[in-house]
Amino acid sequence: MAASLNELNKIGKCETKPKLNPDELKIGEKYPICDVKKVKGKFGDCVLVELEEGVIFLPKRMADNMSDDLIESIHDDVLCLALVYHGTKDTGKSNPAHLYEIVQI
């Protein structure tokens, strides 16, 4: 219960980290991961990655392939993992795909 109240109080005090757009990340830079969790979004389950700079949602194609066990293992190893953004790739759809990688640091 205390953890839930802490999260609620952070929101109430506007102490939450800003949501980042992929375009705000530098290509090839390693962003240390502070936390990772599965959350309910307006399009279903999403994976939210907390970085020092803010939070970013991983693409649905990644979230759909991340089991709860994998998310828990990433969460347990968060101090030695980083998110790397690799830009975009044209997939023939209306929007390009944003490319990410989770790496050890």
Residue 81 domain-assigned (yes or no): yes
pLDDT digits (tens, 9 = 90+) for 34-89: 989 888 878 788 899 999 999 999 998 998 898 888 888 887 776 789 999 999 99
Identify the domain containing residue 84 by its residue range: 17-104
> How many domains does the chain fold into?
1
Residue 3 domain-assigned (yes or no): no
Kindly give the pairing relationship between strand 81-89 and strand 55-57: unpaired
Residue 12 domain-assigned (yes or no): no
Residue 4 domain-assigned (yes or no): no
Kindly give the pairing relationship between strand 30-41 and strand 81-89: antiparallel
Residue 22 domain-assigned (yes or no): yes
Q: Has this prediction a pTM greater than 0.75? A: yes
Residue 96 domain-assigned (yes or no): yes
Other C-beta atoms within 10 Å of 100: how many? 18
